[in-house]
Chain A
Amino acid sequence: MGASAMNRMNPAGGPTTGFRHEVLLHSSREQLLAGVVPYVREALDRDETVLMVVSGDSADLLRAAIGPDAARLDWADSAGWYRRLGPMFEDFRSYLAEQSARGQPSRVVAEQGISAPSTTWLREYLSFESMTNIVYAPYRIPVLCLWDRNRVAPDIADRVTAAHPYLLEGNQTVVNARFLDPVDFLGRARHPELAAPQHVEFTVRLQDAGDLGAARLRLHEHAVRNGFPAERASELVIAANEITTNALEHGRHPVWLAVWRTGEYLVCECSDGGSGFADPTVGFRRPERPTGRGCGLWLARQLADLVQIRSRRSGSQIRLSFALPTVSGRSSG
């Protein structure tokens, strides 16, 4: 598996060809510095632009270690990262596309910046991480991801490793034998079951497209009743409509919509008896035209705070989560 994955990602062999997407899973400051400082120096020696999207703490550490040359790097606070993964992925892709178009050699050092991410959120984040191997590859801009091993559970650390074709060990970039190609990474067998809700607030059964209008109305009303401002409620309806439409068109009737609250989210789940998407990489990239495949799912990823997909032979579920407005009226996160 590892060998064939390696071949798929890196046909010409060697870390300097293909998309140099590597991860440094560090468990100490020393390891962090031992990996990042030479990486940055290499870039500076080659007159590359370096974007450092790291936490404030890491920035302090790295600036001190790099010295005066740190001023030549572009620093951005990773706390500015969005909780909403779809737009973040797309905006970052857009940045890479711009840099690539300019022709200025660059590289990026990135550290996930959301504070206290839930395991659920991390898992979905890592789905995007894996998809960068496909979506960001054409831009050929090296990306080094920094993860603190002390801050993630072992199973998440394994997923982090599996999402990257290269590892930074010490100050050496090496091919990752445990890398999983995105299709494998995102594939059926690799996700835990979605936790069943404690209390479903309502369900809608859809037999055909004619049932969508009434479903939208109910969803909108429910969102507004849960404190969502009109515009956000509309976004919820748009996202839910798209995934439900997919199920009606490609899944098995009847299609079910279930809605409930958790502490943090209003959740809308669409399920049907079909086997779901054959290709798990669908919906991560903006389609070329509105006729593009995966358009509805892409829209859902842009609008929902979290999108979880489970496709099994016995049935499929797509769960959209929308952060509940806080008391002050802003959405949390």
Chain B
Amino acid sequence: MGGTPQPVGPAGPSGRGSFAGHVLALLTPWQERVSLMSSWVREGLARGERVACVHHDGEGGDAGASLLDAVAPRVDGWPAARLRGQVMVVSVRQALSAEGAFDPDSLRTRAHNAIDRALAVGYHGMRVVTIGAPFLEAVPDDGAWLALERDFERMCRELPLSVLCQYHDGAGGLVRRAAAGLHRRIVESLIEITVEGAVVRVRGEVDISNYALLESAVGSACGNAETHVDLDLTELQFMDASGLRALTSGTADFRHRSGRVILRNPGPAVARVLRLLRVDVLPGVELRQAGSA
């Protein structure tokens, strides 16, 4: 933590080279949600994508205001983009189905159609921002929700589609636990985690408010891994004992099966705690600083 710690999440400096794909946001503060959504929309416009904003009346912070009302003024060119159809506003009810009931096949079909239509008129792809809670409420069970998220994860990888799912931070255990396996990137107030196969990149700070995300991410990477998991800690500014617990327990089974976990480039503050608690000498764990093999 040398120098002034940089806040992450929407307020932080972006290194978001690829602010696209299937992104999960777990943010509670109103300002942070507005800020992230605005960035997402701006990114879509900059890339020449069509942007669909799925909104939900009354779910916003202040009485009656919706997130979109707060986002619109923060996006340059919003009115013009709406007029020409580059920005579309869709209600959750419409997104789910005419009756507001959950129909995953219909949802997938409509997503495919929307992408095709966008490409046909010259856009480079489709970008969606949505509130997750209504979908969570609409699905009949956890399994259906997981299947839906998995579908979108696959579509985002295979098609020119990017989806930002915003869950209120209190969305609960299911979302947090399953999060990492279903989203390439998780954005939360203090932390940003990207999982690509057996590589996990962590940016920000881990403490008791968000360690479950790290545990989920490393668990997911272990599931994808053959011999080793690479945990890039270069941009991890801080990690407490709960974060270390998440690391050790999230990788325990994998390491027990002779998997190796490489902790890459922890900064001084993180390395200090790792060494004090002897996580660096746990079976299957290897600390690697930049410049070493």
Residues in A lying within 8 Å of B, measured CB to CB? 208-210, 212-213, 216-217, 220-221, 230-231, 233-235, 237-238, 241-242, 245, 248-249, 286-287, 289-291, 295-296, 299, 302
- Residue numbers in B under 8 Å from A286 (CB-CB): 277-278
Among B169, B189, B276, B277: residue with most chain A CB under 10 A: B276
Majority-rule SS of A interface residues:
helix
> Known: A212-B207, A212-B209. Contact between A237 and B277, CB under 8 A?
no
Could you tell me if B240 and A242 are in contact, using CB atoms closer than 8 angstroms? yes
Answer yes or no: B279 CB below 8 A from chain A CBs: yes
- Complex CA–CA separation, A249 to B208 (angstroms): 9
Could you tell me if A299 and B273 are in contact, using CB atoms closer than 8 angstroms? yes
- Complex CA–CA separation, A238 to B1 (angstroms): 10
Could you tell me if B241 and A234 are in contact, using CB atoms closer than 8 angstroms? no
Which residue of the partner chain, among A209, A220, A234, A302, contacts B209 with CB atoms under 8 Å? A209
Answer yes or no: B268 CB below 8 A from chain A CBs: yes
- Complex CA–CA separation, A120 to B240 (angstroms): 28
Which residue of the partner chain, among A213, A234, A287, contacts B269 with CB atoms under 8 Å? A234
**Nearest B residue to A234 by beta-carbon distance?**
B269
B9: min CB distance to chain A, Å: 10
Answer yes or no: B272 CB below 8 A from chain A CBs: yes
A12: min CB distance to chain B, Å: 34
A289: min CB distance to chain B, Å: 7
Known: A213-B189, A213-B205. 15 other contacts (CB 8 A): A216-B238, A217-B7, A230-B1, A234-B268, A235-B269, A235-B272, A237-B269, A242-B240, A242-B241, A248-B208, A290-B279, A291-B248, A295-B277, A296-B241, A302-B276
Which residue of the partner chain, among B189, B207, B241, B249, contacts A299 with CB atoms under 8 Å? B241
- Residue numbers in B under 8 Å from A290 (CB-CB): 241, 244-245, 248, 277, 279
Could you tell me if B207 and A213 are in contact, using CB atoms closer than 8 angstroms? yes
A39: min CB distance to chain B, Å: 35
- Complex CA–CA separation, A217 to B28 (angstroms): 19
> Known: A245-B208, A290-B277, A291-B249. Contact between A237 and B238, CB under 8 A?
yes
Which residues 186-225 in B have Cβ within 8 Å of A in the complex? 189-190, 205, 207-209
- Complex CA–CA separation, A295 to B244 (angstroms): 11
Could you tell me if A238 and B248 are in contact, using CB atoms closer than 8 angstroms? no
- Complex CA–CA separation, A230 to B2 (angstroms): 5
**Nearest B residue to A231 by beta-carbon distance?**
B268
Instruction: List 11 A-B pairs, Cβ < 8 Å.
Output: A210-B28, A210-B189, A216-B205, A231-B272, A234-B269, A235-B269, A286-B277, A290-B245, A290-B248, A291-B245, A295-B241
CB 8 Å contact bits of B229-248 with A (1 = contact, 0 = none):
00000000010111011001
- Complex CA–CA separation, A290 to B248 (angstroms): 8
- Residue numbers in B under 8 Å from A296 (CB-CB): 240-241
Answer yes or no: B291 CB below 8 A from chain A CBs: no
A133: min CB distance to chain B, Å: 24
> Known: A245-B208, A295-B277, A299-B277. Contact between A237 and B1, CB under 8 A?
yes
- Residue numbers in A under 8 Å from B248 (CB-CB): 289-291
Could you tell me if B1 and A245 are in contact, using CB atoms closer than 8 angstroms? no
Answer yes or no: B17 CB below 8 A from chain A CBs: no
- Complex CA–CA separation, A235 to B240 (angstroms): 11
- Residue numbers in B under 8 Å from A295 (CB-CB): 241, 277
Which residue of the partner chain, among A210, A220, A302, contacts B5 with CB atoms under 8 Å? A220
Answer yes or no: B4 CB below 8 A from chain A CBs: yes
* Smallest CB-CB A-B distances: 8 pairs: A209-B209, A234-B269, A230-B2, A290-B244, A234-B1, A209-B208, A295-B241, A290-B245
